[in-house]
Amino acid sequence: MEEKKETSAVPAPKKGGSKGIIILAMVIVFLALGGYAMTKNKNSLTNNQNKIDFDLYVMSQCPYGSQAEDAVSRVVPDFKDYVNFNVEYIADKQADGNFQSLHGENEIEGDKYQLCVKAKYPEKFWRYLDCQNKNYQDLKSSFESCAKAGGIDFIQIKTCAEGNEGSELLTKSLEKAKGLNVAGSPTFYIAGEKYGGQRTETAIKRALCEKTGNQPKKICATLPQDKEFTAYLVNDSRCKECQTEGLEEQLKTVFPKIKFEQKDYSTDDGKQFYQKYQLTLLPAVLFAKEVKEAEGFSQVENYLQEIDDLYSLAIGASFDPSKEICDNGADDTENNLIDCADTDCAGSLVCRRETLKKLDLFVMSQCPYGVQAMNATKEVLNNFGQNINFGLHYIASELPDGTFQSLHGQGEVDEDIRELCAVKYYSKSYLDYVWCRNKNLQSDWTDCAANFPKIKACFEGSEGKALLSENIKLGNELGIGASPTWLVNNKYMFNGLDAETVRANFCQYNKAAGCENTLSSSGAAAAGAACN
């Protein structure tokens, strides 16, 4: 990576996605980004005087980093005599000496305050984190109250965080993260090795027991063992985009003792299994009921549906094996209509009419990754000028009562509407409003709307809602659920956060002035970094 990112589950699976399997860029990525198997440590502890290092890398306002800190905090008391527990931070230091983080300036300030507490009151650090994490979205509001609650001299910490010392501490922390190419929040290192297992209290304890030679003995001897169970993976060999290798690896990190049994719809046995369990879209994952006894069950419980004697896992699949496959040159439905001639393919990307030099961006207005992508459009549009036709679309759902639902709540719906009002009335300058809002989405939107007076009436009336209703249709038609998702020439989809990635994909399908230039790159933009 790359581009800095949070690693986690999303609150609920959405229909489709840019490529079909938007799997647990949700449940699973939350539990196990990194995917490194832990190897046995040759230097396991033999006595209490040689502690191993435990480093947790986070963004201070990342919800998943906060959850990881909470889990580790509960482990610290049992292992403090055997493990050096440490927290470092993920952000970027710019050429001008300023810092940039995914959740903005407030997160940078939160990093500094926490680092100052760690430096000056190490024995009170975890208590301070526990206090701050009760409201990780607004760390600023608890800088002083959490310090006082923990017996920490707030003036001393404030002086540190707001002075050169805080900047120096953050610089050193970022250098440590950069040295390991750490970009996902949270990322764990135990005894110098990346840990990609479950982020539960019990799983972390198991890992520490292994690394410390089962110290402390009483705790390690009484840890519960995990449960083995079978997962049935149903797929169709005809589907080109139904690769599941990544899904299997991720599930293994959630459930170390999971065993897979493959079922192929193209076979009689696979089709019977598909029909018995009333499946409609592939690939599909069904767990044996023993999954309820596995440690990771609580992490996927909300994504399971009981079907007879199995549990079906919602993974955002989109391939319907009973319909025409639109690019294989065969009459799959035996109705004498092949590929795009079949009405089944009416909404398929491969059958969409190509429109040269067209670029569309699908986002959630308050998604951190969507914000990065929208900001990247400034350089992209400046580079191509009149040689690109850009369109902005929002990802949301319209309910039967005429209201809207979006991943980040009503505030995101409202911002979608305001930005669409800007698009309608300020077609040449609306992005100036968007870029202004992206600097601080928690600020008063009217500050950015000062030069866009027509936004207010449009937003407060029925007009704005009608604009959003129309705008989200294309994304829903294409099954786009990941923010950001880009669409080139009305038919080629890709993901990316930086200007160079966008340029490269646009120029893959277009010959235009500007394609010869190299634009800004994050270095290694997070593959698949998105809000789903």
Question: Does residue 31 surpass a pLDDT of 70?
Answer: no
In CATH terms, 33-221 corresponds, of 3.20.190.10, 3.40.30.10, 3.10.450.710, 3.90.420.10, to: 3.40.30.10
Reduced to 3 states (helix: H, G, I; strand: E, B; else coil), residue 477 is helix
User: Phi then psi for 531, rounded to 5 degrees?
Assistant: -95, 130
Query: What CATH number has the domain spanning 358-509?
Result: 3.40.30.10
443: Cβ contacts below 8 Å, ≥ 6 apart: 437
Q: What is the dihedral of CA 197, 203, 206, 210, to 10 degrees?
A: 10
pLDDT for residue 224: 86
Can you tell me the distance from the alpha carbon of 49 to that of 184, in angstroms, rounded to the nearest whole number? 32
Query: What CATH number has the domain spanning 9-29+225-322?
Result: 3.40.30
Give the Å distances, CA to CA, from 453 to 400, 421, 471: 31, 10, 22
> Which one-letter DSSP state was computed for residue 302?
G
Q: The sheet that has 187-190: what strands, in order across it?
A: 83-89, 52-58, 187-190, 193-195
Give the Å distances, CA to CA, from 175 to 60, 122, 171: 16, 20, 6
Give the Å distances, CA to CA, from 393 to 92, 428, 475, 476: 29, 16, 7, 10
Regarding beta strands 184-185 and 5-6, do their DSSP bridges make them parallel or antiparallel, or are they unpaired? parallel
> Which one-letter DSSP state was computed for residue 402?
S
Which helix (H) or strand (E) element contains residue 174?
helix 164-179
Can you tell me the distance from the alpha carbon of 302 to that of 21, in angstroms, rounded to the nearest whole number? 18
Q: The sheet that has 492-494: what strands, in order across it?
A: 389-394, 358-363, 485-488, 492-494
Whole-number CA gyration radius for the chain: 25
pLDDT confidence bin for 253, thresholds 50/70/90: confident
- The single residue listed with the structure tokens 């509001």 is 141
Amino acid at 308: D
Mean of the per-residue pLDDT values of the chain: 89
Of the candidate ranges 125-139, 339-353, 511-525, the one whose mean pLDDT is the lowest: 511-525
DSSP of 107-162: HHHHHHHHHHHHHH-GGGHHHHHHHHGGGGGGGGGGHHHHHHHTT--HHHHHHHHH
| pTM over 0.75, yes/no | no
pLDDT for residue 112: 98
Reduced to 3 states (helix: H, G, I; strand: E, B; else coil), residue 473 is helix
pLDDT confidence bin for 346, thresholds 50/70/90: confident
pLDDT, tens digit, 9 for 90 and up, residues 362-407: 999 999 999 999 999 999 999 999 999 999 999 999 999 999 999 9
pLDDT for residue 37: 28
Q: CB–CB of 494/488 below 8 Å?
A: yes
Which helix (H) or strand (E) element contains residue 470?
helix 462-471
Residue 373, judged by CB atoms within 10 A of its CB (0-12, 13-18, 19+), counts as: buried
Amino acid at 348: S
Strand partners, 485: 362
Can you tell me the distance from the alpha carbon of 454 to that of 425, in angstroms, rounded to the nearest whole number? 7
Nearest CA-CA partner of 387 in 362, 363, 359: 359
pLDDT for residue 2: 32
Where in the chain are all domains bearing CATH 3.40.30.10?
Answer: 33-221, 358-509
